[in-house]
Structure 1
Amino acid sequence: MSGDERDEARRPEGEARCPYPFPRPSALEVPYELAEIRERPVVPITLPSGDGALLVTRYADVRRLLLDERLSRNLGRPGAARIAKNNRMFQDPRIDPDPPAHTRVRRLVMRAFTPARVEALRPYIHSVVDELLTRMARHDGAADLNEALAFPLPIRVICRLLGVPERDTALFRDWTDHFLSVSRFPPEEIKAAMADMNRYIGELIAAKRAEPGDDLVSALIQVRDQEDGRLAEHELHWWCRLLLLVGYETTATQLGGGVALLLSHPEQLALLRADYGRVPAAVEECLRWKLVGSSVSMLRYAIDDIEMDGYTIPKGASVIPAVDSANQDATAFDRPGEFDITREDVGGHLTFSVGPHFCVGAALARTQLQIATESLLRRFPRLRLAVPAKDLRRHEGSLLEAFTEIPVTW
C-alpha cells in the first residue's frame, strides 16, 4: 500500500485533510481552527512536506500521548511523514530518540546540564541584559526589540554555556535560520549551512577535549556513568548542535513575542508594572500562548495501535500531539482564550512538553525570560509597540514562527 493509500485508509470516512500549521489571524493571535478542531479528538492534516498525519487536539489526550512510549520520535522509519521535503532537521540515523537509548543519553546530558550550572549563569544573564538595554536606550526612543534584546541575549547565553567564543556567536543565527527552514531557503543553502555548522561544532569539541574549560561542552566530554559509560562522539556532537540551535531561537522568539503580547494588553501590563512579583506568572502565561509557533515539531510515529477516546490511532500513522491546541483547551484552563497573567491554572501548560522529552533547557529559558522581561519594563516605563499589534509579522516557511521585527518606542 502506498503512503497516500495508507493516509486514505486512516482518514475518518468523508473527512478531508486540512493544511497544518494553521494560519494566524494576526501575529499574536492563535489560529481560529484551534477552537474548532477540539470538537474532534483526532484531525487528519497535511504537513508542509505534503505528507499526511493525524493531529491530536485535546489536552488530556495530548498529555497522555507525550508520555506514551508507543508514540516514537524516530522519524527515520519507513512511511513516516516528513515536516519538510528538503530538510531532515533533527533526524540522524545514528541517534535513537526513543527509550532506552534516549534515556541513557539524556541521563548523561543531565549530569552535566545541572541546575547549579544554570543558576551560575544568572549574573551573566543580568550583565548581558543590562548591556543590551543600555545600548537600546541610545536609539533615540525607537528600536526593533528583536535586534535590541530578544535575539542577542539567548545566543550569547547559550554560547557562554557551551563555551563558544563570543566572537563566533554571530555565526549561529544564520545557521539556525537555515537549519530550521521548512521552505524559507533552497535545499543547497540548507545543506551548505548545516555542513558549516557541523564542522564548527566538531572543531569546538576537539578544542575542548584538548583544553577543557568550565563549560557544558567540556562537562559533556568528561561525563561518566558507571552503568552506561559515556557519550559516543556522534551523541556528543548531536547534543551540542541541539542545545545551540533549540536553546537559542526558541527563547528569542518567545521573549520578543511575550513582551509584544504584554504591550498589546494594557490592563495586564499595568498589573505587572504595579507588582513585578507577577513576572514569573506572566512569563508562564506567555508560554501557554506558545508564541514560538505551531506544534509541527512534535511530529511522532505510532509503533502500535493507540486507543484515543473512541478513535484508534493505527500503527504506522504519523501523529502530532498538538500542544498549541491543548494549551487553549477549556477542560484544562479557565477562559483559555483570554490572556490573563493572574490565572492560577497556568502551570499546567505543555509548551515544554512532559515526560521523557521534557525540554532540558526549560530552566535556562525561564531564567532568561524572567530577567529580560522585568529588566526591560523597569528600564523603559513608557515602552509601547510602535505599530498596531495586528501589523506585526512572522517569518513564513520556518519551523519556528519568529517575528520579522517588533518595533517599539518609549
Structure 2
Amino acid sequence: MDSSCPVSYPFPWAPAPDIPEHWRTMRENPLLHVTLPSGDPAVLVTRYKDVRQLFADERLSRNTSRYPASRISANNDLFGDPEIDNDPPRYLEERSVVMRAFSARRIEALRPVVKQITQELMDAMEAGPKPAELMEAYAYPLPILVICHMLGVPPEDRAKFRSLIDGYLSVTRLPDDEVERCRVQYWDYLSELIAAKRAEPGDDLISELIRVSQEEPGKLTPYQLQHWVKTLLIAGYVTTASQIGTSMAVLLHRPEVAEDLKANLELVPSAVEELLRFQIMGTSLGSLRYALEDIELLDGTVIPKGATVMLSVESNMDDDVFEEPLTLDIRRQDNHHMTFGAGIHFCAGAALARMELQEATDGLLRRFPNLRLAVAGEELERPVGGFLAGYARIPVKW
C-alpha cells in the first residue's frame, strides 16, 4: 500500500465476517494518508507501539473543534464541542469524577441485572419468529436496557433515546436537517432528564454525578456534566450493541471455533477479549486528533504539525505484538488490544462493556447450544453511512 497516495477511510469490509484486506498490508508504512468520509485528509498511525505511545502524547490534541482539523463528516461534527476541553489537565479532572461512578463495585453489582436482562431477552427470542434477528432481539436491547438502568433513563423514553442517538451518529446516512434535529433534540432531552434528577435524585449514575458536581463544583460544571452523560449514554449503548452482534457473527461464521467455545465456556472471558481485538466495534474515526507540533515516530517518520491524526485500532493486527494476528484464537493470552484505547484515554466504560459482552456471549451459548447463522456469512448486511461498522441484521437459528 502506497503511504503517500490517500485511500478512502474507513476501509471496506470483506463480504464475510472477516477483516478488511487493507489491514493485511497497512503496517508496511507507519503513517498512511487517508481521505475521511467528509473528503478531508488525515493520517492513520498504523503500528501498535506508535499508537500506544501517542495515546499519552500531549502534542496531539483532542480539541479538534478548536483547531483547523479535518472533519469526519461533511454534515456532522459528531464529537466536536468547542466548550469541552478534551486535553489534560482539564480532561483528567473531569474523568476522575466520572470514573468514581464506574467503580469495580458498581459494575459487579450490575452483573445480576445483566444476567436477568439476557434471560428475559432470550425468553422472548425463543418464543418469537424463526429465524430470530439477533441485532433487534438481543444485541441492541441488552446494552440499551443496561445503560438506561445504570443512568436512570425512564423505560418509556428508551425508544426515543435510541432513535435520537442513531440520528446523532449519522456520518452520511441521513440528510443535514435530520442530523441537526437529532442533535438538538438529544441535547434538549438530556437537559430535561438531568433537571428531573436534580429535583428527585435516585440510585443511578446521573444522580451520583449531580451529587459529586454539587460537592466539588470546580470539577464538573452543569454543561460538562451534561456532556459526559451524553457521551456515556452513546458509548454504553451503540458500541456495545455493535460488538455483541459482530462478535457473534464472527464466531458463528467459524463453526469450529464456536464449537470449541461451547465445549469450554470457561474460555468466554479470553474469547471476548480476542473478539474485541479481531472484530473491532467500529473504526478509528473516534480517535481523531490534531498535531500541535511535529511528532517523530519510533522509526523516525514525522507526523507534521497541523495534521489530522487517527490512532489506529487496526494496530490490533500488528504481528510485532500479536502472534499470528490474522487468526482468531480464543485461547490467546496477554491480549493487550487497543480496542478500548490506552493510558489516560482508556475507555471509561470498558469494564461495563466487558461484563456485558461476557454475559451476552455466555448466555447465548448456554441457552442455544445449536445456535448458528441462518444465512451464509457473505449475505450478512452492514449498515451504510453510520459511525460504526457492525451489522444491520444477523438472522440466527438453533
Residue deviations 1:280-317 (CA, integer Å, cap 9, x gap): 00100110024322212111111121101221111111
Q: Indicate which of 324, 334, 337 corresponds to 1:335.
A: 324
Tell me the distance in 1 between the aligned counterparts of 2:90 and 2:247: 35
Indicate yes or no: 2:6 matched with 1:17: yes
- How far is 1:25 from its partner? 1.7
**Any idea what SS the aligned residue of 1:129 has?**
helix
> Structure 1 CA distance, aligned partners of 2:353 and 2:376?
27
- TM-score of the superposed pair, with normalisation by structure 1: 0.94
Is residue 338 of structure 2 the alignment partner of residue 350 of structure 1?
Answer: yes
Q: Deviations over 1:76-98 (max 9, x none)?
A: 13321110111011111110000
**How far did residue 141 of structure 1 move?**
4.0
> Could you tell me how far apart the structure 2 residues matched to 1:251 and 1:124 are?
16
* Gap change, CA 1:304 and 1:165, over 3 Å in 2: same
> Which one-letter code corresponds to 1:111 in the other structure?
R
Partner of 1:183: 172
**Structure 1 vs Structure 2 CA RMSD:** 1.6
Task: Please say if residues 201 and 237 of structure 1, whose CA atoms lie closer than 8 Å, have aligned partners that are also in contact.
Answer: yes
Q: Are 1:255 and 1:369, in contact at CA under 8 Å, matched by a contact in 2? A: yes
CA pair 179-140 structure 1, distance change in 2 beyond 3 A? closer
Name 1:322's counterpart in structure 2: 312
Question: What secondary structure does 1:44 align onto?
Answer: strand
CA contact (8 A) 1:52 1:81 kept: yes
- Distance in 2 of aligned mates of 1:185 and 1:356: 33
Does structure 1 residue 360 correspond to structure 2 residue 348? yes
CA distance, structure 2, for counterparts of residue 138 and residue 237 of structure 1: 39
Is 1:385 the equivalent of 2:373?
yes
Of 330-339 and 291-300, deviating more is 291-300
Q: Distance in 1 between matches of 2:48 and 2:214?
A: 36
Q: Measure, in 1, the Cα distance between the counterparts of 2:295 and 2:48.
A: 16
Note if contact 1:377-1:383 (Cα within 8 Å) is conserved in structure 2: yes
Q: Which residue of 2 aligns with 1:118?
A: 107
1:246 is matched with which residue?
A: 235
Write out aligned runs for 1:270-285 (5 A): 270-285=259-274
Structure 1 unmatched ranges of 5 or more: 1-11
Partners of 1:27 and 1:321 lie apart in 2 by: 25
2:121 and 2:138 in contact (8 A); partners too: yes
Counterpart among 310, 317, 326 of residue 300 in structure 2: 310
Q: Helix, strand or coil: the match of 1:408? A: strand
* Deviation for aligned residue 1:113: 2.7
- Distance in 2, matches of 1:79 and 1:62, equals 22
Rounded to whole Å, the distance in 1 between the matches of 2:155 and 2:65 is 35
The answer (yes or no) to whether the contact 1:27–1:394 under 8 Å persists in 2 is no
Q: CA deviation at 1:55?
A: 0.9
1:206 aligns with 2:214: no
Distance 1:197 1:249, change over 3 A: same
> Percent identity over the alignment?
50
3-state SS of paired residue (2:14) = coil
Amino acid at match of 1:289: F
- 8 Å CA contact 2:66–2:82 kept in 1: the answer is no
Alignment of 1:70-149 (within 5 A): 70-139=59-128, 141-149=130-138
- Separation in 2 of the partners of 1:343 and 1:362? 19
| TM-superposition CA deviations, 1:313-365 (whole Å, max 9, x none) | 111111111112x10110111111111101224x2100000011111110111
TM-score, scaled relative to structure 2: 0.96
Check 1:172–1:226 CA distance in 2 against 1; reply closer, same or farther (3 A cut).
closer
Matching residue of 2:48: 59
CA distance in 2, matches of 1:342, 1:368: 20
Could you tell me which amino acid in structure 1 is paired with residue 237 of structure 2? Answer: Y
Deviations 1:249-275 (A, max 9, x none): 100010011111111111211221111
CA distance in 1 between counterparts of 2:176 and 2:34 reads 24
Equivalent-residue separation in structure 1 for 2:354 and 2:212 (angstroms): 25
The alignment covers a number of residue pairs equal to: 396
For the pair 1:394 / 2:394, whether they are aligned, the reply is no
Q: Which moved more, 1:216-225 or 1:194-203?
A: 216-225
Classify 1:137/1:73 alpha carbon distance in 2 versus 1 (closer, same or farther; 3 Å): same
Query: Match for residue 218 of structure 2?
Result: 229
1: CA distance between counterparts of 2:114 and 2:49? 36
Equivalent residue runs for 1:162-177 within 5 Å: 162-177=151-166
| Letter of the 1:362 counterpart | A
In structure 1, what is the Cα distance between the partners aligned to 2:14 and 2:118?
A: 32
Could you say what secondary structure the match of 2:66 adopts? coil
Instruction: Give the Cα separation in 1 of the matches to 2:292 and 2:69.
Output: 10
1:35 aligns with 2:41: no
Consecutive unaligned residues in structure 2, runs of 5 or more: none
Distance in 2 of aligned mates of 1:383 and 1:253:
19
Deviation readout 1:91-115 (Å, 9 max, x if unpaired): 1111000001101111111122322
Could you tell which deviates more after superposition, 250-259 or 223-232?
223-232
| Contact 2:67/2:290, CA 8 A, preserved across alignment | no
